[in-house]
């Protein structure tokens, strides 16, 4: 069985994500997957990340279906009301993409 979110696969961010989040925040989501999640808990092919205002800084809250495990990571980046409230990380088996919920329907 091939595991989800192998850092050797090609990784992307959708146009909507690139237009709405700074690259350092996008990179931080990949780092959370690689350093805090991968190998610690079994990952599905769809991960959920809520972006939360924590006193003016960003907190990224992880969850996924069929798992009670959740995690929040405080980041040093300023929070903006312009940020989406949630992004997904999706692994289709060949490439991995961070995208907005609305982009999953496209």
Candidates 35, 96, 41, 91; CA nearest to 60 is: 35
Determine the pLDDT at residue 86: 97
In this model, does residue 106 exceed pLDDT 90? no
What mean pLDDT comes out for the span 23-35?
96
Domain range 9-101, CATH class: alpha beta
What is the pLDDT confidence band of residue 1, given thresholds at 50, 70 and 90?
very low
For residue 68, give Cα distances in angstroms to 37, 42, 44, 63, 71: 14, 11, 13, 8, 10
Q: Is 0.75 topped by the overall pTM?
A: yes
Listed by start position, the domains of the chain span: 9-101
Rg of the Cα atoms in the chain? 13
Structure tokens at 69: 């495990």
């Amino acid at each position: 069985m091939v595991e989800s979110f192998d850092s050797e696969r090609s990784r992307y961010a959708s146009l909507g994500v690139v237009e709405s989040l700074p690259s350092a925040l996008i990179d931080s989501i990949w780092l959370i997957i690689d350093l805090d999640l991968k190998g610690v808990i079994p990952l599905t092919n769809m991960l959920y990340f809520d972006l939360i205002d924590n006193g003016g800084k960003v907190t990224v809250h992880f969850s996924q279906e069929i798992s009670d495990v959740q995690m929040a990571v405080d980041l040093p980046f300023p929070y903006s009301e312009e940020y989406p409230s949630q992004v997904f990380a999706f692994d289709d088996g060949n490439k991995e993409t961070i995208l907005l919920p609305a982009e999953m329907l496209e």
